[in-house]
Amino acid sequence: MTALEAISNTVAWQFYGFSTGVACQTTSVGAGVTTQTLVLANGFGIAGLGGAGYLASMFTIYDRVALIRAGALVPNAIGQITAVDSTAGTISVSWLGAVTSAAGDNIVFANSVENTTIAGTDYNLAPVGLLEAVTSASVHGLSSATNGAWATASANTTAGRFSGLKLRRMRQAITNKGGAKADLVIWSQGVENDTIEAEKASARFSSTFGMEMEGSVKAKGITFFSSQKVPPGYVFVMDKSEAMGKFTLLPKPNSGTPPWTDGDKMENRNALQFSIDFPYAYVYKNRGAIAYQSNATEQ
């Protein structure tokens, strides 16, 4: 059951990222070290994205990670996480051998049986996530630079406080450019908090005793979804059926009846190891059915 949870957690993080598989970067420099504490930065490789807690939440103890620089594995830089500090935004790693790290190295997962080369990492093996879909010119081999219809409906990278007016404009852009109808908002918990606070300030009550302490925001025909995994400061608005789809070659494993019976005993651990095949992909059908804002105000 825990294995299935781990798979689901990985799939959930990949939903927001890039097909490069980059989880984040490090600012740490090390010369010939075999154990190292990496300071995390730049979620999904985007400069300044994510604070200490957000970046650290991507990792758990016993995860294996690797450092990628200029498209190549840093020599010996595959290792196992031994500690995670969500306050400092760091992970401690025990490397295969002596590693010389540099600021700006990309961190990718390497939870593979093959654990000595770049082939054993997730580099360039992740599906196309939301951030790639809205920020990259080329998605699925088609570029918006050569086909203007293959472009995000709207992008606001200096968003400030999110509001009903901004949502209306994003919905209009999706209708005008994508021929779709927005029905889903995916936003970070901080943006959700700030928006609720802003809307409460403008509300009028006949009695202060009738005011709810914890409210919510609503929009007709819109489902609002927030998660700790949503990139901080981001709001994605889309027509979920028109914008994208997901396909798998095998059905998702049933948590009630695991699709395996035996495994191999793990060395020095009270656990078994086994493989679970779950090929899947996110496919974007209409990028004009997606609008986004970044750098939105959070609380």
- Of 110, 126, 112, nearest in space to 66 by CA: 110
Q: How many helices (H) and strands (E) does the chain have?
A: 6, 17
252, pLDDT greater than 70: no
CATH class belonging to 19-120: mainly beta
Q: With pLDDT > 70 as the criterion, what percentage of the chain qualifies?
A: 90
What is the Cα–Cα distance from 258 to 276, expressed in whole angstroms? 10
91-95, 187-191, 216-220, 229-233: which range is least confident on average?
A: 216-220
Residues in the chain, total:
299
What is the Cα–Cα distance from 61 to 12, expressed in whole angstroms? 18
- Ranges of each domain in the chain: 19-120, 130-293
State the pLDDT at residue 113.
80
State the pLDDT at residue 74.
97
Give phi and psi for 92, each to the nearest 5.
Answer: -100, 135
Which is more confident, 33 or 114? 33
DSSP H/E element including 196: helix 189-202
What confidence category does residue 222 fall into, taking pLDDT thresholds of 50, 70 and 90? Answer: very high
Which pair of structure tokens corresponds to residue 152? 């995000």
CA distance to 43, 216, 225, per residue, from 171 (Å)? 27, 20, 16
The distance in angstroms from the start CA to the end CA of the chain is: 34
State the pLDDT at residue 273.
74
What is the Cα–Cα distance from 52 to 23, expressed in whole angstroms? 13
Q: What is the DSSP string of 214-244?
A: S-----TT-EEEEETTSPTT-EEEE-HHHHE
Q: What is the mean pLDDT of residues 280-291?
A: 94
30, pLDDT greater than 80: yes
Q: What is the mean pLDDT of residues 119-148?
A: 95
Contact 101, 93 (CB under 8 A): no
Contact 106, 69 (CB under 8 A): yes
Give the rounded distance of the alpha carbon of 279 from its chain centre. Answer: 18
State the pLDDT at residue 112.
85
What is the Cα–Cα distance from 175 to 166, expressed in whole angstroms? 14
Which is more confident, 170 or 280? 170
Q: What is the mean pLDDT of residues 124-131?
A: 95
What is the Cα–Cα distance from 107 to 137, expressed in whole angstroms? 23
What is the Cα–Cα distance from 291 to 207, expressed in whole angstroms? 38
State the pLDDT at residue 206.
59
Q: With pLDDT > 90 as the criterion, what percentage of the chain qualifies?
A: 73
What confidence category does residue 255 fall into, taking pLDDT thresholds of 50, 70 and 90? Answer: low
State the pLDDT at residue 184.
96
Place of tokens 């004009």: 288
67, pLDDT greater than 80: yes
What is the Cα–Cα distance from 79 to 117, expressed in whole angstroms? 11
Which is more confident, 14 or 273? 14
229, pLDDT greater than 90: yes
Q: What is the mean pLDDT of residues 39-65?
A: 96
Which is more confident, 259 or 250? 250
Q: In this structure, how many other beta carbons lie within 10 angstroms of the beta carbon of residue 29?
A: 14
What confidence category does residue 270 fall into, taking pLDDT thresholds of 50, 70 and 90? Answer: confident
Q: What is the mean pLDDT of residues 227-233?
A: 96
Q: Using one digit for the tens of pLDDT, what is the confidence trace for 195-214? A: 988 877 665 555 555 555 56
Q: What is the mean pLDDT of residues 144-158?
A: 93
Q: Using one digit for the tens of pLDDT, what is the confidence trace for 236-245? A: 999 999 999 9
